[in-house]
Amino acid sequence: MKILVLGASGQLGHLLVQVGERRGLTVLGTYRSHPRAGLLQLDLLDFEATRHTIQHIRPDWVVNCASWTWVDGNEDDPQRAQRENVDTVAVAAAAVTESDARWCYLSSSYVFDGTSGRPYTEEDTMSPISVYARTKVQSEEISRTYFGSDALIVRTIVVWGPD
């Protein structure tokens, strides 16, 4: 199995590449502005470059970890949040539809307002209360628009690891 991890210079993407490689999978990762050894540079706002990369690599899965996760920064700069958390997803999803790859989008539990008093399920209504959360909701909607029920959307709570 061949997996392409978008946003592999970030904490989660980096760990996914490492874990995949340890399990014997072929895992390739991309970065935009924070290079790490062995990763491919890719601007996810560039449709042609993204499409070319996906067509060249021919992955079985594309896992989108690319995101601007600084919640306070998203509040201060909603235009950047839109560009980095939504527009990049739209470009990547459109490019993936021109391949045979499956799609996995890494979202966040921030899509919920935290007031339910019980654990959330996939069926619960999203109620974002921040710019960051709204961008995650939009990106989930983009994922569903392009891939329907085949979209794999993973909502993380807190990401931590050895780094």
31 assigned to active site: no
Choose, from 31, 105, 110, 132, the residue flagged as catalytic. Answer: 132
Question: 62 - beta bridge partners?
Answer: 4, 103
Alpha carbon 87 to its chain centroid, in Å, reads 11
How does 8-28 read in b/e, with b if 16+ C-beta sit within 10 Å? Answer: bbbebbbbbbeebeeeeeebb
Angle at 142 between CA 141 and CA 147, to 5 degrees: 100
Closest CA to 98 of 148, 142, 46, 54: 54
Q: How many CB atoms lie within 10 A of CB 34?
A: 11
Which tokens hold the place of 23?
């399990």
Q: What amino acid positions are annotated as catalytic residues?
A: 132
